[in-house]
Amino acid sequence: MNKELFDELRQSAEEMVAIREGVMSPAHITRVAMPEVKQIRTKAGVKQDEFARLLGVSPSLVQAWEQQKRLPNGAALKLLKMLELNPQIIHTLKTI
């Protein structure tokens, strides 16, 4: 690793520690409201196994989301937000 990249990485780590300790504030915070996965699934009228298959994840992951043991992220989070706003998307998912 070159020195410039290493110095930048070290500075980022130091800033992270300072933010965590309350010494400095983060420049930007993005907050996304977590969807109520069970409510979305129930509204769609499908069981956990089918919901998992439609989203391309495991049934145990859907169960963990519903119990709030794990939080959805990435593409799954976006898809859940879309389903929350437009439950009819479930019909499109069933055709793919």
Q: For 9-23, what is each residue's pLDDT tens digit?
A: 999 999 999 999 999
Return the pLDDT at 37: 96
Query: How many beta carbons lie within 10 A of that of residue 54, not counting itself?
Result: 20
Model pTM?
0.67
Residues 29-79 pLDDT 10s? 877 778 999 999 999 999 999 999 999 999 999 999 999 999 999 899 999
Unique residue bearing structure tokens 């996304």: 32
pLDDT at 49: 96
Burial class (CB in 10 A: 0-12, 13-18, 19+), 32: exposed
CA atoms lying within 13 Å on the CB side of residue 63: 4
Distance between CA atoms of residues 6 and 42, nearest Å: 49
For residue 93, how many other CB atoms are within 10 A of its CB?
18
